[in-house]
Amino acid sequence: MTTAGPSPDRPATGAGRAAPPRPTAAAWARENLFNNRHNSVLTVLLGAGLVVLVIYGARFLFVTGQWEPVRTNLTLLMMGTFPREEQWRIVVQVYLLCASVGLLWGGLTASSRDRARDAGVPFSRARLRDGVRRWWPVFVLLAVLLGMTRTWLPLAFVASALALGVAARRVMEALPEAGRRAAWFGAGVCALAGWQVLSGTGGIAWWWGSALVAAAVVRLTRNVRTDARWQPLARLTLVAGAVAVVWAVYAQLDFGGVGWDDWSGFQLNLVAAAASIVLAFPVGLLAAVGRRSQLPAVRWLSVGYIEVIRGVPLITLLFMGDLFLGFFLPTEDPLSKVTRAIAVMTLFTGAYLAEIVRGGLQAVPRGQVEAAQAIGLSAPRVLSLIVLPQALRAVIPALVGQFINLFKDSTLLSIIALTEILRIRESIHGQREFLIVGIAETLVFVAFAFWALAFTMSRESQRLERRLGVGER
């Protein structure tokens, strides 16, 4: 009866398992709430406290809370000073992203369905109900946002975007094997096109486009037979040429668009976190591999970078970026404030990613490397074909965890006066009608926006961890 250690969050009944008979409410309460004297006292005391807290909280949420500052400034909180006449860019981007995510999701479902069919295992599609149960904080956040706007246009927008995503998923699932491969590519194009529409010529799509073209050239030239000695050089020239063409074409075009310097609000939080983790990945990979290098100089450099960055708070680095990062460059401060902040966050995340990747590298058995060397693979090939694929698979949940941390840390941008959501919340209380109105309410709103996303991501990453079987060797 009193054994400590039943896991409280074990699902009650699995889908395929035989469900045990459901206990009556009284039996359940006796078992879980009043099973001995201590627990009965605890239950009564905590229950009373909980009732008071719930009543107080509900009164705050629905009766006494002054949500007017949040409601009036909802757009400001979400996208800050983003030019209002360019808002359509965000709308188009969201549609394209939804389509892309829908295609990806459908593709994943379809391929696992096919694998199940090949293995002769029954396959059950994830149901909508499960999706809602797993993603409820996000849906609550959406409902809060839509409920506050009190107009039909955002509702229609969100509903149509979700519908588009679901439709894309259905299409992808229905496609035959060959068509699906093209659709995978379509998902990537949709995502990139979204960024292109949003940032236009002023933005990061240059880099994405170049990377895409470079990857395509590498892929296309893989099977071309030339004189072996010149092949790498020739390919490099081709890649450089293609990238140069892309840049030249870009320089001639003008799509307008809004680069990340003009983004603010919650959008900036998301973009800063996402951009930093993507950009930090190569840095972290390099530092992790460098830490295991045979050359002492490279090893010590990597160790120094990782340990120094991990030993200091992010704020000190942000101050550095804000105050004198530009001084390290020969020109007179060519970088914008947002760029410097993202550069610093990249530097910061790189050190943490290096440690995560190192953990993954250590999890790859030595025999793998030795076997690869035995069949005569060169050191870069051993790394890129044998070690990294296995190492990176093991660290996906940790990567998600790092992204969540970075997302939460993006609030620190407010300290160097970037207008992310916390800073905008502060500025709301500079408006005359909201000087001391709803100070707790705006904070609760901001906290909830972060919580909903971070909580969902962390739960999904735990789920992923279980499915990948990390740590169960």
Partner 1 sequence: MAGVCLAGWWLYGNLVDNLTRTRIPTDFNFLTQPTGFAIPENFGFDPDLPIWRMVLIGVQNTFLAGLVGVLLASIVGLVVGIARLSSNWLVAKLAQVFVEGFRNTPPLVVIVFFSFAVFSFGPLPVFPEALDLKLPGSDSNWLVLSKSRIGIPSLSAERHEGLFWLLVVCGVVAAAGVWVWRSRRHVRTGEPHHRVLWSLGLLVVVALVAFVALGGPYDWSWPARSENGRRLISGFGTSAAYLSLTLALALYTASHIAEVVRASILAVPKGQSEAAGALALSPFQRYRHVILPQGLRIAVPPTINQYLNLVKNTSLGTVVGYADVTNLTRTSIGNANPAPQSIAVLMGVYLVFSLVISLLLNIYNRTVQLQER
- Per rule CB under 8 A, is residue 35 in the interface with partner 1? yes
Look up residue 302 and give its two tokens. Answer: 């990597």
Q: What is the DSSP letter of 420?
A: B
- Rounded Cα–Cα distance for residues 11 and 319 (Å): 46
Q: Which is nearer to partner 1, 162 or 437 (CB)?
A: 437
Q: What is the DSSP letter of 200?
A: G
Q: Which of 275, 286, 406 is nearest to 358 (CA)?
A: 286
The residue from 159, 163, 224, 447 that contacts partner 1 (CB under 8 A) is 447
Q: Which is nearer to partner 1, 341 or 404 (CB)?
A: 404
| Spatial contact of 316 and 348, defined as CB atoms under 8 Å apart | no
- Rounded Cα–Cα distance for residues 164 and 144 (Å): 22
Q: Which is nearer to partner 1, 233 or 312 (CB)?
A: 312
What residues from 306 to 325 belong to the interface with partner 1 (CB under 8 A)?
308, 310-313, 315-316, 319-320, 323-324
- Per rule CB under 8 A, is residue 329 in the interface with partner 1? yes
- Rounded Cα–Cα distance for residues 411 and 79 (Å): 15
The residue from 65, 188, 202, 259 that contacts partner 1 (CB under 8 A) is 65
Residue at token pair 């074990």: 10
Q: Which is nearer to partner 1, 43 or 373 (CB)?
A: 43
Q: For residue 56, count other CB atoms closer than 10 A to its CB.
A: 11
Residue 442 CB-half CA count within 13 A: 26
Q: Which residues does residue 265 pair with via DSSP β-bridges, in sequence order?
A: 420
The residue from 295, 374, 375, 417 that contacts partner 1 (CB under 8 A) is 295
- Rounded Cα–Cα distance for residues 4 and 15 (Å): 27
- Rounded Cα–Cα distance for residues 434 and 424 (Å): 13
Cβ 473 to partner 1 shortest distance, Å: 16
The stretch near partner 1 (CB under 8 A) out of 110-118, 216-224, 383-391, 443-451 is 443-451
- Per rule CB under 8 A, is residue 355 in the interface with partner 1? no
The residue from 359, 455, 460, 470 that contacts partner 1 (CB under 8 A) is 455
Longest dimension (CA), the chain: 84
Cβ 80 to partner 1 shortest distance, Å: 17
Cβ 79 to partner 1 shortest distance, Å: 19
- Per rule CB under 8 A, is residue 5 in the interface with partner 1? yes
Q: Dump the DSSP string for 385-398.
A: IIIHHHHHHHHHHH
The stretch near partner 1 (CB under 8 A) out of 142-150, 216-224, 233-241, 440-448 is 440-448
Q: Which residues have CB under 8 Å from 401's CB, separation 6+?
A: 458, 461
- Per rule CB under 8 A, is residue 55 in the interface with partner 1? no
Q: Which is nearer to partner 1, 187 or 424 (CB)?
A: 424
Q: For residue 90, count other CB atoms closer than 10 A to its CB.
A: 19
Q: Which is nearer to partner 1, 18 or 297 (CB)?
A: 297
The residue from 330, 367, 380, 469 that contacts partner 1 (CB under 8 A) is 330
Q: Dump the DSSP string for 15-46.
A: SSSPPPPPPPHHHHHHHHTSSSHHHHHHHHHH
The residue from 32, 81, 231, 293 that contacts partner 1 (CB under 8 A) is 32
- Rounded Cα–Cα distance for residues 460 and 401 (Å): 10
Cβ 412 to partner 1 shortest distance, Å: 6
- Per rule CB under 8 A, is residue 409 in the interface with partner 1? yes
Q: For 263-372, where are the E strands, in sequence order?
A: none
The residue from 23, 55, 60, 261 that contacts partner 1 (CB under 8 A) is 60
The stretch near partner 1 (CB under 8 A) out of 70-78, 109-117, 154-162, 327-335 is 327-335
- Long-range pairs for 170-175: beta carbons < 8 A, 24 or more residues apart: 170/106, 171/103, 171/106, 172/102, 172/103, 172/105, 172/106, 172/107, 172/109, 172/110, 173/106, 173/109, 173/110, 173/113, 175/110
- Per rule CB under 8 A, is residue 185 in the interface with partner 1? no
Cβ 320 to partner 1 shortest distance, Å: 5
The residue from 8, 20, 122, 469 that contacts partner 1 (CB under 8 A) is 8
- Per rule CB under 8 A, is residue 7 in the interface with partner 1? yes
Cβ 3 to partner 1 shortest distance, Å: 7
- Per rule CB under 8 A, is residue 431 in the interface with partner 1? no
- Per rule CB under 8 A, is residue 230 in the interface with partner 1? no
Cβ 28 to partner 1 shortest distance, Å: 8
- Per rule CB under 8 A, is residue 140 in the interface with partner 1? no
- Per rule CB under 8 A, is residue 259 in the interface with partner 1? no
Q: Dump the DSSP string for 113-173.
A: HHHHHHHT----PPPHHHHHHHTHHHHHHHHHHHHHH-SHHHHHHHHHHHHHHHHHHHHHH
Taking CA 139 as the corner, what is the angle to CA 134 and CA 144, rounded to the nearest 5 degrees?
A: 150
User: Which parts of this chain interact with partner 1 (CB under 8 A)?
Assistant: 1-9, 32-33, 35, 39, 42-43, 46-47, 50, 60, 64-65, 295, 297-298, 301, 308, 310-313, 315-316, 319-320, 323-324, 326-330, 404, 408-409, 411-412, 414-415, 422, 436, 439-440, 443-444, 446-447, 450-451, 454-455, 458
